[in-house]
Structure 1
Amino acid sequence: MAVSVQTTVREVMDIRQASEYLGISGDTLYRYASEGFIPAFKLGNRWRFKKTLLDAWMDEKSGVKPPTPIAVMPKQKKPVARAR
């Protein structure tokens, strides 16, 4: 019987977690972050990566266009009669 190991993907990841998520080596990810090629920020002296920013970056690099948001106009309110 095969046991499935499911790792949870956190919103903010360290180098190890983000490199596993992206499928690249930690050294490559560190270089990308240092060069500003990939969205990342430093917390103290350690690199951190937000999943939502990585997903958006991957979509941009792969040519995937995000869905266009649909503008919804608010309903017009009827004028209120003045109180006497």
Structure 2
Amino acid sequence: MTDEILTLPEVAQPLKVAEKTVCTMTQKGEPPAFKVGGQWRFRRMASDAWIDAKTRRAAGEEEST
């Protein structure tokens, strides 16, 4: 199975944030990404794992408060 490569708009849409927001976050190291020809690209599996980790962390914070 190959890991699909996503573009910035393809990552921003399901997160329901602006592309600029994803770009700013990516420059800070999250979500995991790499550049091709000066444009950000994202591995679907890495992006999904990042979202899952954020979701689990948020759920854990809610439970502990």
- The interval holding the TM-score normalised by the smaller chain is 0.7 to 0.9
**TM-score by structure 2 length?**
0.73
The answer to which structure has the higher strand fraction is 2
Point out where structure 1 has 5 or more consecutive residues left out of the alignment. 1-9, 65-84
State the SS of the aligned residue for 2:30: coil
> 2:9 pairs with 8, 16, 22, which one?
16
State the SS of the aligned residue for 1:59: helix
CA shift, 1:17, in A, is: 1.3
Identical pairs, percent: 31
Residue 62 of structure 2 is aligned to residue 47 of structure 1: no
**TM-score by structure 1 length?**
0.58
Moved >2 Å (runs of 4+): none
Point out where structure 2 has 5 or more consecutive residues left out of the alignment. 58-65
Structure with the bigger RCO (C-alpha within 8 Å, sep 6+) is: 2
Aligned residues: 55
State the SS of the aligned residue for 1:63: helix
